[in-house]
Amino acid sequence: MGKILREPGAVTELAKAFQVTPQTVRLALNGVTQSDLAKRIRKRALDMGLKEKGTEQAIVLN
**CA dihedral over 44, 48, 51, 56, signed as positive or negative:** positive
Cα–Cα distances (Å) from 17 to 12, 34, 36, 53, 55, in that order, read 9, 19, 15, 23, 25
pLDDT in tens, 12-55: 999 999 999 999 999 999 999 999 999 999 999 999 999 998 76
Nearest by Cα to 15 from 6, 7, 24: 24
Put simply, whether the predicted model's pTM sits higher than 0.95 gets the answer no
Q: What is the pLDDT of residue 50?
A: 92
Residue ranges per structural domain of the chain: 1-62
